[in-house]
Amino acid sequence: MTNKGSDDTTTSTANAMWGGRFAAGPDAIMEAINASIGFDKRMARQDIEGSRAHAAMLAATGIVRDNDAEAIREGLLTVLSEIEAGDFAFSTALEDIHMNVEARLKEVVGEPAGRLHTGRSRNDQVATDFRLWVRDQMDAAIAGLEALQRALLGQAEAGADWVMPGFTHLQTAQPVTWGHHMMAYVEMFGRDASRFRDARVRMNESPLGAAALAGTSFPIDREMTAQALGFDRPCANSLDAVSDRDFALEFLSAASICAMHLSRLAEELVIWSSAQFRFVALSDRFSTGSSIMPQKKNPDAAELIRAKIGRIFGANVALMTVMKGLPLAYSKDMQEDKEQVFDAADNLMLALAAMEGMVRDMEANVPALEAAASSGFSTATDLADWLVRALDMPFRDAHHVTGSLVKLAEDKGCDLPDLSLDEMQGVHSAITEDVFDVLGVHNSVASRTSYGGTAPVRVREQVALWRERLG
């Protein structure tokens, strides 16, 4: 019995796949640089899915006999089951997933396998496989983002009333609520999901049937194969269909922006979990210890997310560089498109899953958050706003008066609410006792009820809207 896709397959088999043009097989160096099976075997399911749709169309249009098409379709399921069971030995001599599958199909069903490639080329075949694979990754990324958003919503709802410092330049600026801070990332990751959805709509056209570059003389039905594979329509230009990798570049672009957002949140978790901040405690599931310092609990998962982002950025730049100088239509350079995308997709999904777990498990240190929110003159803007509202003072004048009061408190080593009314009136005589109503951090956040503001009532509204949106 013939070994399933054996690595002992001779170069004469590869020659037979290429056709009679080549009398001698490639030498070892050429075989090594030319083969892509080491990585494109990840697209086995998509390759077989596309081939089964193509075989059904060939039968429906009368290009091949029904019994041959049925044998091909059933044989392809056999090949897929072998691959999924780990019983398939891939051959570098057969270059890629397409030739490996077709060679094994011939062993399974015999002569009908030779009819499968009618009306198509490896150029439109790989473009179809790759689109299907990237489309699956877009769906997975959207699902991962929605899971992360739900974890953030849980934190936001629990901490809608918890106060913490809001920062600019990593300096205390104004008090905000924990829930408001969590919801900022819900918005960011919502935009990321929308970018993947938008890109998915644009890429959802089928290259199958574009053949090598010019279409085919066979009376194929491209609408039928597009529909069978879940595409909205066939690609309208055969040259563009086989040479386009915009869908992969859009995936990498959206992944890069998403990765940047993940890195920003990871950076905050690293800072917040430090002994200097003590804002959060990360769970043991996403932390490690030190081999020498027993007191250490390191936020390694967050740090690794922050580092892995460079691989995703790098993949985006690498594929842009591969594509930038290619004339139409297909060039072998495009074989270098997949490893970059595979690696970026793997790291994006790992980062999303790790971040979702960290956010879901982390515990906020509410007293530490409130103490930090109350320091650094965080209610200075509230004081200036009160001077405008209560004393009808021009804001620039109120800004100056508030600055003087901050200087006074700084000199005394206290915060603004700790100043006495007499001390405040020494700076401006019209200040009244009512000023103390706005100087507490809880009063501050509660007052910021403008749309998109940090007030707990606004946070809860946004949580409810996002829960409805996510379903």
- Among all residues, which ones are annotated catalytic? 169, 290
Terminal C-alpha separation, the chain: 54
- Cβ neighbours of residue 417 under 8 Å, at least 6 residues apart? 379, 436, 439, 440
- Cβ neighbours of residue 300 under 8 Å, at least 6 residues apart? 286, 287, 288
Full DSSP string of 67-121: HHHHHHHHHHHHHHHHHHTT-----GGG-SHHHHHHHHHHHHH-GGGGGTTTT--
Sign of CA dihedral 200, 201, 202, 203: positive
Full DSSP string of 380-412: HHHHHHHHHHHH---HHHHHHHHHHHHHHHHHH
Full DSSP string of 303-317: HHHHHHHHHHHHHHH
What is the C-alpha to C-alpha distance for residues 412 and 424, in angstroms, rounded to an integer? 13
What is the C-alpha to C-alpha distance for residues 231 and 209, in angstroms, rounded to an integer? 13
Tokens of 150: 């739900």
Residue 355 dihedral angles phi and psi, to the nearest 5°: -70, -40
β-pair partners for 364: 280
Mutual angle of helices 97-109 and 66-84, in 10-degree steps: 120
β-pair partners for 174: 166
Mode of pairing for the β-strands spanning 163-168 and 171-177: antiparallel
What is the C-alpha to C-alpha distance for residues 400 and 358, in angstroms, rounded to an integer? 43
What is the C-alpha to C-alpha distance for residues 130 and 346, in angstroms, rounded to an integer? 15
Of 273, 122, 133, 79, the residue nearest 208 (C-alpha): 122
- Cβ neighbours of residue 201 under 8 Å, at least 6 residues apart? 232
From the number of C-beta atoms within 10 Å of its C-beta (0-12, 13-18, 19+), residue 215 rates as: middle
235 touches 241 (CB < 8 A): yes
Tokens of 346: 């793997």
